[in-house]
Structure 1
């Protein structure tokens, strides 16, 4: 492997880290640049709907490091990551480092991970329930995805669809009304300062962060009838030839998840996702043993070691990591290898920008087995234009071709598109982050 003539890998050093926060892609995303003393840049991203502070606090810990020493830097900063959005800082930095390494040595990321098993990656297309008030409407939307060439689908199906409908949910009185206020509270809070409206919704926030077994919410038979009719209508439109997974079931106990799963078996689902929080391994094993539908979780798990309980106990059929939570590209590959050894399928969660998407494409290419990679931005016409240098069209017949260009395969970021979609509450484009250069703590974990 020969280094590029323009770059001296031995003297390469990280000098800066900058950000741009965009909205509606389809969620809020924080894009990242890591800069070096030789002009080469690496592109990363913080997990969707997360805070860039998770990455900013790490800046002083990576300034002056050689970005080619990816594992060394990862081991230095991984203690500051956590599950779900808290993993976004470490993970985003990790993929930006790999982007730099690929550019330095003029090889694609998949080659740095051991080479590729496949030239193109199957995409599964996610579709939100919002605006699709009946199964026939959702079926029509999914049928349009099929006409676009997608070969694998996912949709929402859960208790959020039952709110406000009489007799479909049993819950402590007043609790469901609190649930209905939570979603707008979250949307208004992203990126802004504390407001009286936010303070008034603390009760609803507390509910949303109460894990499923503790809410006291249960589905009635009438509620299950509604969900079954919805999915039956979807299948009547799209047929049974194409895989269809379901997500966003809601905060109910595993017993209700089992009732739901048994009702849904006849509709030949690809998987049911995140029925209970990922850390309840025993409950996942109960669910998996009680249904013939494949059971899936993993998008909120940080580090390969935390996937081990689910994998080693065979509590799931499909592991579903997100590259911007799990720890980045190398960690995603480790998780895939672990699952592969246990005979567990891997699908990759992805609801972010093309930066995270292309990083995941490279890792998927280097996996021994992978089922599909998520795309959540089909309805965002400018999504691909955030970056420059990808294939046109990027998605062809439901697949993304693995790039052969260096690093992630992205030539540059499109500042005009990013500028047009900046979060108005965090409007800066690649502004200085010098105030984080001297952040200090004695970071050792023992004395």
Structure 2
């Protein structure tokens, strides 16, 4: 079997545009991957096509050789665009291998250590603004089965935060905590936008709520600042969604800068690279909690990793999504009692419907983090996705 081509397909998904790849072979088997890089989708799609010259004519089973040759030969190493493209193509190769051997990818990675993975919800809050609106949305999410809720309550604050803004943020957190009770994980997102004294000040205020973690309190390119925050606060710190390889995570781990690490399968190098990052983290007794807000193929790949990674802790899910998510792929995400079940179909257990994707062409989107529009993360017609009341069984 030899690789014959790489296709790229962009699908508008309101908040972003999903970037999918298909790797084709002369045996008729194809694999799918995802390289969704928010706000740079067209750039990463072109990068995926540029990887074609490294792969056409090669055996798709030689995944490690392809990864190594591509990463080394690019010379500039790392970065979000190359690593997202490499991630997508790499996961498509795993998909081909699993399909050819008629086994799920997790079986190729040593077999599973669990049959379900606990999840927390993101996006559950849209379009709440006031604390009482957040509280009501939180009650709905918990009623749907989620046992963890993540959100950014900090409005348009950047680097510093005023007393009123901070008090408003804490009122929002308090309203949610009181609404859902003590047994639900509370995860507070910082989006990497505060300086050290502000992050410490916020973390000190968060202590009273017994949160599970404070995520990306400072910019991701200053690991010394992140380490300082972690050393000076008493809430757990999570980070890593904007790190792009085992070399980036080595620096994070060596500094002791986080309690939980959050690699993204679509950005950090793909399935094999996340396995290596997880193994590195395990030597520090640190769990991985992958960043996973993207599309259905990235979710499928992350579930394969969850199956066979011993130090896997929590998985991010978007609790609702655009209605056409059900139409553009064969995703079958089964959610029960706060967990996603690990699939057992061959490969990644998912395929793309190219004709349906074409109905939702690319539309540009800009970052919302500093505009106060963070709660506009879901479209008005968003449908509840990962909960037992709304089946994800794909159309025939």
TM-score (norm 1): 0.76
Identify the match of residue 78 of structure 1 among 56, 65, 71.
71
1:78 offset after TM fit, Å?
1.9
Is the alpha carbon distance of 1:394 and 1:418 closer, same or farther for their aligned partners in structure 2, counting shifts above 3 Å?
farther
* Distance (Å, rounded) in 2 between the aligned partners of 1:88 and 1:226: 36
Aligned to 1:56: 49
1:339 offset after TM fit, Å?
0.9
Is the alpha carbon distance of 1:242 and 1:89 closer, same or farther for their aligned partners in structure 2, counting shifts above 3 Å?
same
1:409 aligns with 2:329: no
Aligned to 2:173: 231
Structure 1 or 2, whichever has the larger Rg, is 1
1:116 aligns with 2:112: yes
1:296 aligns with 2:238: yes
| Matches for 1:22-37 after TM superposition, within 5 Å | 22-24=11-13, 26-37=15-26
* Distance (Å, rounded) in 1 between the aligned partners of 2:182 and 2:319: 24
1:415 offset after TM fit, Å?
3.2
1:376 offset after TM fit, Å?
2.1
Is the alpha carbon distance of 1:220 and 1:424 closer, same or farther for their aligned partners in structure 2, counting shifts above 3 Å?
closer
* Distance (Å, rounded) in 1 between the aligned partners of 2:2 and 2:277: 29
* Distance (Å, rounded) in 1 between the aligned partners of 2:48 and 2:319: 24
| Matches for 1:239-278 after TM superposition, within 5 Å | 239-249=181-191, 251-278=193-220
Q: Deviations over 1:32-63 (max 9, x none)?
A: 10000110000011123233122111111111
3-state DSSP of counterpart to 1:413: coil
Q: Deviations over 1:110-136 (max 9, x none)?
A: 111111110112221102765211122
Contact 1:354 1:386 (8 Å CA) reproduced: no
* Distance (Å, rounded) in 1 between the aligned partners of 2:26 and 2:284: 44
> Which 10-residue stretch deviates more, 239-248 or 317-326?
239-248
1:25 offset after TM fit, Å?
6.1
1:340 offset after TM fit, Å?
1.3
1:277 offset after TM fit, Å?
2.1
* Distance (Å, rounded) in 1 between the aligned partners of 2:363 and 2:191: 32
Aligned to 1:43: 32
Identify the match of residue 149 of structure 2 among 149, 153, 157.
153
1:321 offset after TM fit, Å?
0.5
3-state DSSP of counterpart to 1:370: coil
Is the alpha carbon distance of 1:338 and 1:66 closer, same or farther for their aligned partners in structure 2, counting shifts above 3 Å?
same
Contact 1:25 1:383 (8 Å CA) reproduced: no
| Matches for 1:426-437 after TM superposition, within 5 Å | none
> Which 10-residue stretch deviates more, 257-266 or 306-315?
306-315
Q: Deviations over 1:128-154 (max 9, x none)?
A: 765211122112112211111112221
Q: Deviations over 1:266-323 (max 9, x none)?
A: 1111111111122322212211122111101101111112101211232110101100
Q: Deviations over 1:189-229 (max 9, x none)?
A: xxxxxxxxxxxxxxxxxxxxxxx8xxxx4222222212111
1:252 offset after TM fit, Å?
2.6
Contact 1:128 1:156 (8 Å CA) reproduced: no
Contact 2:117 2:342 (8 Å CA) reproduced: yes
Contact 1:17 1:59 (8 Å CA) reproduced: yes
Q: What root-mean-square deviation, in Å, do the aligned CA atoms of Structure 1 and Structure 2 show?
A: 1.9
* Distance (Å, rounded) in 1 between the aligned partners of 2:314 and 2:327: 23
Contact 1:23 1:423 (8 Å CA) reproduced: yes
* Distance (Å, rounded) in 1 between the aligned partners of 2:341 and 2:160: 44
3-state DSSP of counterpart to 1:111: helix
TM-score (norm 2): 0.85
Contact 1:22 1:422 (8 Å CA) reproduced: yes
* Distance (Å, rounded) in 2 between the aligned partners of 1:22 and 1:69: 29
